[in-house]
Structure 1
């Protein structure tokens, strides 16, 4: 337990984080408080969380040096102030980033990309290329035809990349003889890499600040759903547990967010709603899938993309989808959406067994 009288106010929700008086960013400023509750410091006595870009830090000692009468007024004796020693704060380790040259080199070679091949069969090559470029999805040679999902934050800096291999016919991940997933910073042997993950698609938040956000687990799902339901800005957590922390969620403050968890993850995501609301996020949960899924769908771990992909080109698509999947009618009615039609894509290419290509990206 701290023995210091003056400390930075502990985090207890967004009400304890304020607008920085220097850089004017919201919800990033921590005020100093008196643990003995005798002194209430002015609004400017505190520290900005943006140490690199702002660096504002006005301590109680600074305040008393500028206002000696205030020290005399509130301190019962000189020893009460002299006993104050500023908290020795460890400097946070700077977040590591991937060199943009490496990222840009991956934004090509799409004809060999297995996920690109699968999506092209659904949407056509031109539309698939637009989706890959928009979400900054790359191609890796780590496995022949592998995909790189770059985690690009809202400052357009790349935190890392997740390398995954897909079956070009089914669109499913290759998990045999082992799960084909790894990380770019690991492949590059960056042992001292300080990874702080962000949402996949986070860079899109600054481009469109009004559109409601849809949060899913899978990067692939975010891409697919963004085609069918562009009324939402689709981002992905990268997994059931991904990005559910105050630092990661801060980029969604002030946004309207709808959660679309995979089957089996609804209860866990439901438990995170209070945390999200404390971060200033307006949250809704679309839990119709969990309540109405079949046993086979549960075993397969369906998500919203699996339902959206049950489309046959050349038919009355929306009616056919609703007939087979009543969940879609509920989704459309709930959020007053319009579904984008899908045209016949190019034939699905033959699947070749993956070959590991050493430690190249």
Structure 2
């Protein structure tokens, strides 16, 4: 039985957002009546729009419940990349792989690359390609980030489908992301899943604490029900970055609030408070993550 009466629609249906007018709104569902609530929801364009209207905010004054109609939403069908793109990209080398070799040596770095299918986009100044491959081993996306050899990322980020559009190899692409590392759950069905924000963090922590299966959602705003659905049956420990938002709340608090809602519909998520308790104000100001926290001691021992 659901703990909360009103939950965000866990399906892939998208409604028209009243703020940005894009078909990117995930609406609330009244679980008691099994009806959608058209005037309440969260826009998936969190950085560009940020619309969020919970039913309790106005005392349900603008409540309009209705049956689901075919013209009320857009069903998003994901596009996919061909598998040979992944194989070709793994041949190259990039600064992130060099950083892994510096930290752990060539053998371990190569195993991490093979495990997570880390590629290189030479035409993007040898950017690191973090492939998003789902539980069916289908390639959903390729996120490309440029790094320095120190392991620090630059501000240069693109997506493989954007690059292919520029090259006119594809004309359109419907990006529907999945968790980074999701393809690993098919072969590892027993390990506790440790979920972090960044792909880099997942790769590093997979070496430091190999007993967990480390996955990444890609960004703090990507801690979403839809993205987590394939691991709903697994025990999950989420490690948010130690970061304070503009409104004064922390990413930890935001993830904990979301996790409570996810758990109400069957998930088993614990949001770790390790960084909240063990980091200094200076570290919180820098927004360190779980890998930063443990790498300090690791580098001292080198």
What's the TM-score once normalised by structure 1's chain length? 0.59
| Distance apart, 1:108 and its partner CA | 1.2
Q: 1:233 to 1:312 in 2, by over 3 A?
A: closer
Q: Is 1:232 matched up with 2:218? A: no
CA distance in 2, matches of 1:91, 1:293: 43
Q: How far apart in 2 are the matches of 1:216 and 1:87? A: 37
8 Å contact 2:199–2:215 — kept in the other structure? yes
The residue aligned with 1:142 is 123
SS of equivalent to 1:309: helix
Distance 1:307 1:87, change over 3 A: closer
| 1:286-343 per-position Cα deviation (integer Å, ceiling 9, x unaligned) | 1121233123212221101012212457x8x5xxxxxxxxxxxxxxxxxxxxxxxxxx
Cα–Cα, structure 1 residues 280 and 191, in superposed 2: closer, same or farther, change >3 Å?
farther
| Distance in structure 2 (CA, Å) of the matches to 1:294 and 1:95 | 42
* Alignment equivalent of 2:294, drawn from 308, 322, 331: 308
Structure 2 residue aligned with 1:154? 135
Rounded to whole Å, the distance in 2 between the matches of 1:99 and 1:298 is 40
Instruction: Name the structure 1 match of 2:246.
Output: none
- Among 215, 219, 233, the residue aligned to 2:195: 215
Counterpart selection for 2:179 from 194, 199, 208: 199
Which residue does the alignment assign to 2:96? Answer: 115
Decide whether the 8 Å contact of 2:92 with 2:122 is kept in 1: no
Q: Which has the higher contact order (CA 8 A, sep 6+)?
A: 1
Please state which structure has a larger fraction of its residues in strand: 2
Question: Following superposition, which runs of at least 4 residues in structure 1 exceed 2 angstroms of deviation?
Answer: 11-14, 86-94, 142-145
Alignment of 1:65-76 (within 5 A): none
Counterpart position of 2:85: 102
Task: Please give the secondary structure, in 2, of the residue aligned with 1:205.
Answer: helix
Q: Give the Å deviation of 1:210.
A: 1.1
Tell me how far apart the structure 2 counterparts of residues 218 and 263 of structure 1 sit (CA, whole Å). 13
Shift of 1:87: 6.0
Q: Conserved in 1, the CA contact under 8 Å of 2:191 and 2:212?
A: yes
Distance 2:196 2:124 in 1: 26
C-alpha deviation, 1:104, in angstroms: 1.3
**Counterpart residue number, 2:164:** 188
Q: 1:182-235: CA deviations, max 9, x gaps?
A: 111111115531111100000011111111000000000000001010111000
Corresponding residue number in structure 1 for 2:235: 256
Match of 1:297 among 277, 280, 283: 283
Whole-angstrom distance in 2 between the partners of 1:312 and 1:289:
17
State the Cα deviation string for residues 80-126 of structure 1 (Å, max 9, x = none).
Answer: xxxxxx9657783421001112121101123xx10011110110011
**1:272 deviation in Å?**
0.9
**Cα distance in structure 2, aligned partners of 1:146 and 1:192:** 22
**Structure 1 position 161, deviation (Å):** 0.6
Distance 2:74 2:258 in 1: 29
1:199/1:243 contact within 8 Å kept = no
Q: Structure 2 CA distance, aligned partners of 1:206 and 1:196?
A: 20
Long gaps (5+) in structure 1? 1-10, 18-33, 36-85, 318-343, 345-361
Q: How does 1:120-135 map to 2 (within 5 A)?
A: 120-135=101-116
3-state SS of paired residue (1:164): strand
Across the aligned residues of Structure 1 and Structure 2, the Cα RMSD in angstroms comes to 2.8
Q: Identify the residue that residue 274 of structure 1 maps to in structure 2.
A: 260
Distance of 2:103 and 2:158 partners within structure 1: 26
> Which residue of structure 2 aligns with residue 77 of structure 1?
none
